[in-house]
Structure 1
Amino acid sequence: MRKFTFISIYLILSLCISLLSSCKESSSINQSNLELNQSDPWDQLPDILNKITLPTFPDAQYNVLEYGAVKDDGKDDTDAFRKAINACTEKGGGMVVVPAGIYHSSAIHLKSNVNFHIQEGAEILFSTNPADYPMVSTAYEGIECINYSPLIYAYKQTNIAVTGKGILNGQASNENWWIWKGNKEYGWSEGMPNQKDSTSLPRLMSSQDNGIKVEDRIYGKGHYLRPTFIEPNTCEKILIQGITIKNAPFWVIHPFKSKFITVDGVTVDSHGPNNDGCNPEYSKYVLIKNSTFNTGDDCIAIKSGRDADGRRVGIKSENIVVQNCKMIDGHGGVVIGSEASSGVRNIFVENCNMDSPNLDRAIRIKTNSRRGGVIENIYVRNLEVGQVKECVLKLNMFYGIYANQSGDFVPTIRNIHLENINVKNGGEYGILAKGHPDSPITDVYLTNVTVEKVDSPYSIENVNNIHFSNTTFNGKKADDPKI
């Protein structure tokens, strides 16, 4: 009996020593992984940028004047543009050139390997007659449908571009497209049709809940849903460079279900309703740089579908970079949502200037419990903010629009980093954050942020782990909020 006890004790001690050794090794491995996971997230940026490859084109030119376009005569040039684009793609690709002058067009449909180049001094005036825009597969406010063609559109094409120093003018105004918003400030009055009519946007929003197939969601005439301006839909390797875009009917640049996209040196000057400057949706590997946004809505708004439709599609918008941009008027400088039901992650914003008494916020995330989705890994650094109206950073899980926006799909917002931000006038709040009781906003970090003037440093509700490092409001160092 004593011998058995001694052997048992020996075996137990040996096992304990072995387990301790194993735990120590496991702890060492876990610590190594932790250190790896805590590396600077900005180290991912070069790899993301390397994947955003530019389209390339043969050295061949197709002048639209040789295909029937006549500048400055006031006649429609759509057919000439179409013939030049078809000839270009059929012969292997190249540049379709629009020389200096005034042209008139309805929908322009790009094809693979075509660089549609609007030279300096050229301006294309787009028709404001809805009948001039054929029905195509598109989306409206994050819900897929068949509707009027975007003014410049490409579907399932590869290697496309819109470039040059010319002007694209949608000619939208209070006399045409903008009226459909249904707001008096845009020319609408009682008795006029608009998108809020029961056969228009409310019908589209209910279609996703009622399981109506996309091909059966047919709108267009009699439904008052405005077309986007530039929409590459399910495309790859896209360049939009140098152009000026004015007076859009609706969203301005809308990459949809697309990847490897560069928007470079573009000027958006459009103050109509929902005139968001650039809205990547269900899109990956996007670079927006050196561009100026002066808009009637969000300057840049990253999206991934609305409600049930977003969950059905299930494509995250991710690996999106914003660099060296200027934001003037708008509801927000860089915004995520509200249509973000598929999720948004890995967003990098750096070296931007935001300044206007008509810019409501610098950085904004807006969502609600109808949207759902996970929004995470948002990294912002090196911003110069002159003036914003409401706040520097707004995180809102109760974004309200149209009717009741509460549901059973509580979203997640986590891992938000602002670093090296200088703000002269932050408006009402430095940070305005409202999380959901069932899903608090988690992990918000402000490092080296200086807000010289603001009414109140922050208003925070249902936020876990918000941390200030070397951050000041109104000249006073900010301590971590006690939540």
Structure 2
Amino acid sequence: MRKRFFFLILIAVVALSFSSKIDPVKINEIKVVTPFMMPAVKFPDFGDSKKFSIVDFGAVKGDKLKISKAIAAAINQANKANGGIVIIPEGEWLTGKIHLKSNVNLHLNKGAILLFSDDPNDYLPAVHSSWEGMECYNYSPLIYAYQCKNVAITGEGELKAKMDLWKTWFSRPKAHMESIKRLYNLASAYSPVKERQMVNDTAHLRPQFIQFNRCENVLLEGVTITNSPFWTIHPYLSKNVVIRKLKVYAHGHNNDGVDPEMSQNVLIEDCVFDQGDDAIAIKSGRNPEGWRLKTPSKNIVIRNCLVKNGHQLVAIGSELSGGIENVLIENCEVKDGAKLNHLIFIKTNERMGGFVKNIYAKNIKAGKIDLGILGIETNVLYQWKNLVPTVEVRLTPIENVFLDQVTAKEVKFISRILGEKKLPVKNISLKKVAATSITESESIHENVTGFSSQK
């Protein structure tokens, strides 16, 4: 009897040990063909996971507090189950912030609308976030995932931000400028991030809509996103991110579509962007922040996307102090009539340092572009130019940029490359890059070596 008892205990221990080694959520992989070495991109599959409807946790339409609590409770339960799908049913659901946890898929059924409050108090307490490439404690992003693994937002529903209050924060009065100046100085002094508290009556640093902060194995698929206080989708210091089949519309100030920052193994595909700023902007920290964190944005593929509006199809920078490398943009289209400055725009300045290399763009077409197809500028400072002095000069080496089969209708130039005399831009190749009409000059170049163009 005693032997049988110990035998059963042994089986239980072995079974428990074995089960603990099984991933709670199935992980799929996508192998992407690229001109650089890139590992398969991993993402979570919640096909066999249990479902948790927010209605079962007390959500009542029109009651923001009950809905917010129900979503948080459902997320907790799905997390405890080591894999679960939190269901947002059809209808409009007003909520405050949503904080995701590992092994959780926030799923919006067809006809579901998650409407996010524009009361800043709903996004407190402050969380570890960032503002234009500088880490700080700020209002929580509307949807926030911090140090999560296997996390997703999926479905056919809509994520929508109320904007009545946020849009009053679009302007940059003196008080706001003084606050971001303070943050810049704190970052430049390498002050601990917890000392960079930016929630006050004057900073008005708007939160991102969705931020995956230090996450791994992320999926964002199918949903429509409407409006945003700031950057719309912000994968930050994250690995293995798949963003696909989204419809993104946001026409406020700084309303980029997707901003991968210091993130690696990122796939953005089959999305539609209608933005008030860049459709996609790849970043890697501002000044000392990128130097401190030492994490380049790397292995990023953007394919089969449509841009209806946006300053650029893809911008690289200007926050790029951690470096940006191995980017492929292919089979994308900018709708004729879109308000566009460039297709590809690489921008930096003497304060950034970092590096840009191995940028590939292939099979892209656009209508009229206000400026040109390729822009590279090394003195882009925006509001920072006269706000704060240069603390340390670090130029940005830019090299190996390849465009192939890229066309537009009307442009001012095909390429404008303004490099630094002390550090010229190197190795730029244009193959079958053309426009129907060029109104100024085909090439405007300063301090460039190794430029080639083939018709």
Q: Same fold (TM over 0.5)?
A: yes
State how far apart, in whole Å, the 1-side matches of 2:273 and 2:36 are.
25
Kept in 2, the 8 Å contact 1:180–1:195? The answer is: no
Kept in 2, the 8 Å contact 1:180–1:194? The answer is: no
1:173-322 to structure 2, matched below 5 A, reads 175-182=164-171, 195-196=176-177, 198=178, 200-222=179-201, 223-322=203-302
Alignment partner, residue 377 of structure 2: 396
> What is the CA deviation profile of residues 182-212 of structure 1, one whole-angstrom value per residue up to 9, with x for unaligned ones?
25xxxxxxxx77632x2x2111111112232
2:149 is equivalent to residue 158 of structure 1: yes
Structure 2 counterpart of 1:377, one-letter code: N
Q: 1:76: how far off? A: 5.2
Structure 1 counterpart of 2:187, one-letter code: Q
> What is the CA deviation profile of residues 66-120 of structure 1, one whole-angstrom value per residue up to 9, with x for unaligned ones?
1111235666511110011111110121211101100011110111111100111
2:366 is equivalent to residue 379 of structure 1: no
Q: 1:232: how far off? A: 0.7
Instruction: Identify unmatched segments of 5+ residues in structure 2.
Output: 1-31
Instruction: Identify unmatched segments of 5+ residues in structure 1.
Output: 1-41, 184-191, 471-483
2:132 is equivalent to residue 138 of structure 1: no
Alignment partner, residue 458 of structure 1: 443
Alignment partner, residue 119 of structure 1: 109
SS for the counterpart of 1:438 is coil
Kept in 1, the 8 Å contact 2:310–2:338? The answer is: no
Q: 1:423: how far off? A: 1.3
Alignment partner, residue 86 of structure 1: 76
1:351-362 to structure 2, matched below 5 A, reads 351-355=331-335, 356-362=337-343
RMSD of equivalent CA atoms: 1.7
> What is the CA deviation profile of residues 161-195 of structure 1, one whole-angstrom value per residue up to 9, with x for unaligned ones?
001111111112xx421322325xxxxxxxx7763
Larger Rg: 1
Aligned residue-pair number: 415
1:425-440 to structure 2, matched below 5 A, reads 425-426=410-411, 428-440=412-424
Structure 2 counterpart of 1:441, one-letter code: V
> What is the CA deviation profile of residues 225-251 of structure 1, one whole-angstrom value per residue up to 9, with x for unaligned ones?
110011111110000011111110000
1:9-88 to structure 2, matched below 5 A, reads 44=34, 48=38, 51-57=40-46, 58-71=48-61, 77-88=67-78
State how far apart, in whole Å, the 2-side matches of 1:239 and 1:43 are.
20
Q: 1:124: how far off? A: 1.1
State the TM-score, normalizing by the size of structure 1.
Answer: 0.83
State how far apart, in whole Å, the 2-side matches of 1:161 and 1:169 are.
17
Kept in 1, the 8 Å contact 2:64–2:96? The answer is: no
Structure 2 counterpart of 1:395, one-letter code: I
State how far apart, in whole Å, the 1-side matches of 2:176 and 2:161 are.
19
State how far apart, in whole Å, the 2-side matches of 1:131 and 1:219 are.
14
> When you count strand as a share of all residues, which structure comes out higher?
2
State the TM-score, normalizing by the size of structure 2.
Answer: 0.88
Structure 1 counterpart of 2:156, one-letter code: K
Report the CA distance shift for 1:116/1:123 in structure 2 as closer, same or farther (over 3 A): same
The sequence identity of aligned pairs, in percent, is: 37
Structure 1 counterpart of 2:297, one-letter code: S
State how far apart, in whole Å, the 2-side matches of 1:64 and 1:45 are.
45
Q: 1:44: how far off? A: 3.8
Kept in 2, the 8 Å contact 1:363–1:394? The answer is: yes
